[in-house]
Amino acid sequence: MSADVLDLARDWLAQDPDDETRAELEDLIERAESGDEDAVDDLDDRFDGRLQFGTAGLRGALGAGSNRMNRVLVAQAAAGFAAYLRERDPEGTPTVVVGYDGRRNSDVFARDSAELFAGAGLRAVLLPRRLPTPVLAFAVRHLGADAGVMVTASHNPPQDNGYKVYLGGGDQGSQIVAPSDAAIAASIRRIADGTTVAELPRSTDYEVADEAVVDAYVTATAAVGPAPDGAAGTRWVYTAMHGVGWETFSRVLETAGYPAPVLVTEQIEPDGSFPTVSFPNPEEPGAMDLAFAAARAADAEFVIAQDPDADRLAVAIPAADGWRRLTGNEVGLLLGRRAARAASGTPGASLACSLVSSPGLGAIAEQYGLGFHETLTGFKWISRAPGMVFGFEEALGYLVNPDTVRDKDGISASVAFLELAAEARGRGATIADLLAELTREIGFYASGQVSVRVAEVSAIATMMAALRADPPVAFGDLSVDAADDLLQDPAGLGGDVLRYRLVDGSRLIFRPSGTEPKLKVYLDVRGESVEDSAARLAGLEAAVRELLDRLA
C-alpha cells in the first residue's frame, strides 16, 4: 500500500464526525499498517477516487472513505452544492428542499445537508419525515425552490445509499444534467480539497416543512386518476418492498376513491435492512414472491408493487402457471396509450421514452397524432422532452403528471394504472385483455433484457471496448444491418451505448447500468404474431448470451 493512501485515510479520519465510520476506518488503518493484505486492498478501494454524479446523482455503499457514502462525503457534497447555488444567484437567497427515505443514515445525511445549506446562507427546508422521492420532486416545484436533494438509493442493495439532486426554476424540478452535474462536481471537489468538514459553517436555523406540502401532493396525485365506477370491489395486492410508499399512497387511494388493497404485511413498514429480499427491486427474481403468495390467497386480480422510495411501479397479473410480472415496457405502453388518448389533438403534445425502451411508444404516438422523443436513459432526460405528456423507461419508471412532478413517480403511476384496470373491469375486461387490445392496435412488439453482473466495474468497460474493437456482424442467423456507437453520435445524443439494428427490424442495445455493476443488453422485436415475436426474442436472447459468455 502506498503512503499516499494511508495519508488520505488518516486525513479522512481526522474530519469524520461519525463514530461508526471512524471506528471502521481506525481498524482498517491499524490492520493495514500491520501488513493485513485484505485491509490494504479495502483501503485502496475506499480511497480510489470519489463517488461521482451519475444517472442518479451520488450513489454507493455506506462506509468510510471517499469512494463510499458517509457523513464526510455528504457534507462535502452539500457544501459544494450550496456554493454552486450561491454562484448561480449571488444576490439572492436560494431555497433548497431536502427529503429522505427509510434507508440507513438517510435521516442523518438529510439533517447534515439542511444544517450545511443553512450555514451557507441558503434557505433550507427539510421535509417533515421520511417520504417517497416523488414527494420531494413535487415539493421543489410546489414551494418554488431553486433546488432539491433526496437522500435515497432507490432500489439498490441494503448496504447502499445515495444523494439525488434536482434543480428548480427553468429546470422545473428535474434531475441535474450536463453541464450542471460537472459544475456541481467541481464545486464539491474544491470544498473537499480546501476545507475540512469541521470548518464548514453549520446552522440549525433551517425550516421543517409542514404537512401542507404532503397534503398538496396527495391532492394532486389523486386527481391523476379518480376511481371510476368499475373500481368498487376490486381485489388487489400491494407491497411497499420495505420502503416508504404506503403511508402516502394509502392517503392517495382514499382521496381518489379506490378500495383498499390486501397488504403484504411483511414488507409494508419501512426497514432499511430489507429483511425479506436480497435486492429491494421488483425486477429482481424472488422480490415479489411474498406478493404473489398474498395474491393467490386473496384470489386477487392484480398486484401493484413500488420500490423502497416509491418512484417505480411494478404490476403482476395471473398467468396459466401462477403470477407474471408485466415488463416495464408493457406497463409503459398501456400508460402511454392512456396518455395519448387524453392528449390526442393537443398541439405540440408528445410521448417520450429512453432509447432502451420499447419502440412501441413511437407507434402509439403516431397512431394518435402526437410527437415522439427518444432520449438517453434516465428521467433527467425524459423529463426535458419538449411537449411531453407522458414518459417512461423500461426499468419500471413512469412520468404520468409532468405538470406537477418532473420525475418518475410510482405513486401517480399506480393511480393511473388503477384507473385503467377499473375502467376495463367496468366493461368486463382484464389487464390481460388490455394488453391484447394494445397489440391489435400497434402490432406484436416484444422486449427482453439480458444482464451481466460483475464484481469489478472495470470489467464492463473491458467488454464494451471489446465490442467496439471487434463489432459483431450477426446475432445468430440475423445479420447486423446498421450499428451505432452513441459516443460518436453526430446528432449529439451521446452516451456509452452501442445499438445494433438487424435485417429483420429487430434492435439490440448494449449499455452499462448507471446505478449497478451490470452490463445490460436490451432486445426489441416486432413479429407477425405473439408466437412469432416470442420466437424471435428467444433466438436473439440465446445469441446475446453466447456473445456475452465469450466476452466475460
Catalytic residues: 154
Alpha carbons within 13 angstroms on the beta-carbon side of residue 16 total 22
Alpha-carbon gap, residue 470 to 461, rounded angstroms: 14
β 160-167/236-239 pair status: unpaired
DSSP code of residue 302: E
* Helix intervals (H) in 234-370: 245-256, 289-298, 328-343, 360-367
Exposure on the CB side of residue 152, measured as CA atoms within 13 A = 31
Contact indicator for 113, 149 with CB cutoff of 8 Å: yes
Q: Are 139 and 99 in contact (CB under 8 A)?
A: yes
176 neighbors 148 (Cβ within 8 angstroms)? no
Torsion angles phi and psi, residue 525, rounded to 5: -135, 160
CA 272 to chain centre: 17
Q: Are 488 and 468 in contact (CB under 8 A)?
A: no
Cβ–Cβ under 8 Å, residues 73 and 66: yes
Going through 409-467 in order, the beta strands assigned E by DSSP cover 444-453
Here the cell at position 335 is: 400508460
Torsion angles phi and psi, residue 65, rounded to 5: 120, 160
End-to-end CA distance of the chain: 29
DSSP state of 69: B
Distance CA 63, CA 192 (A): 17
At 252 the three-state DSSP class reads helix
From residue 36, alpha-carbon distances to 6, 49, 203, 357, 375 in Å are: 13, 22, 41, 47, 47
Q: Phi/psi of residue 57, each to 5°?
A: 75, -140
Residue whose entry in the numeric block shows the C-alpha cell 493485513: 36
- What phi and psi values does residue 232 have, to the nearest 5 degrees? -60, 130
